[in-house]
Amino acid sequence: MNTSGRNIIIRRPSFNVFHRHNRIISLALLRQFSTSLRRSDATTADMKDSTNDSIESKTFSKKRPLTYQERKLIESMIRVDHAGELGANYIYKGQMAILGKDKKVGHVIQEMWDQEKVHLRTFDEIIPRYRVRPTLLRPLWETAGFVLGAGTALMGKEAAMACTEAVETVIGEHYNDQLRELIKIDNEETTELREVIKKFRDDELHHLETSVDYDAQKAPLYGPLSAIIHAGCKAAIWVTTRL
């Protein structure tokens, strides 16, 4: 009962508040897994130095042929990663078409795009080396990427950065999932791929942090926009594993 005669207004947390909170938790988990992997690598290196005999025998066991299921899994990983880097390139291409001359974010977008170009070239080389069929949906991902990049850039600098944040969050999580699978396989044939994915995962997380620093979460309709892009990226990954 209100004895003071004044109305009491209870404000509910907005969708954006919940979404930002979840994104912060997600980023923290990504960082935690990245750190644990580095610690694991350092521990492995120390073990190799101190127990050469046992490592030699273990290395020999890792030279076993990959099973059919393992090869199909790796082929799917490479196909999806190649398509993802292709889409990312076209997202940044679309953003640069609109914001390339912007004094605040133009150079930032260009720097991130330059890294994505390196990622794409690397997977362009990995595809034939592992005899992987590229995605059949390349024209779709090129068009969708450019439209997404240019469309969010037209909404403003903050929306463009919100797009980057959402995309890189999904890619970072996706790369972490792949690293877990490669660690389980634990085969010498996957060493190069694992190192590539680790490096690119760290680059994507850096892009994610950069987008937050450049006001991604101040974008208009930040919550719904991020959720839609996040869901779209997840759907694209699911489709590309099959096509």
Quote helix, strand, coil % in the chain, to nearest 5: 80, 0, 20
How many Å apart are CA 78 and CA 124, to the nearest integer? 10
Q: Could you tell me which residues are annotated as the binding site?
A: 85, 116, 119, 168, 204, 207
Distance (Å) of CA 166 to CA 69, 101, 128, 155, 186: 31, 23, 30, 15, 31
Give just the sign of the alpha carbon dihedral 110, 97, 126, 236: positive
How many Å apart are CA 177 and CA 181, to the nearest integer? 7
Q: Could you tell me which residues are annotated as the binding site for Fe cation?
A: 85, 116, 119, 168, 204, 207
Contact 108/128 with Cβ under 8 angstroms?
A: no
Q: Where are the alpha helices (DSSP H) in the chain?
A: 15-50, 52-62, 68-99, 106-129, 138-154, 157-185, 191-213, 222-240
- Collapse the DSSP code of 11 into the 3-class scheme (helix H, G, I; strand E, B; otherwise coil) and give the result: coil
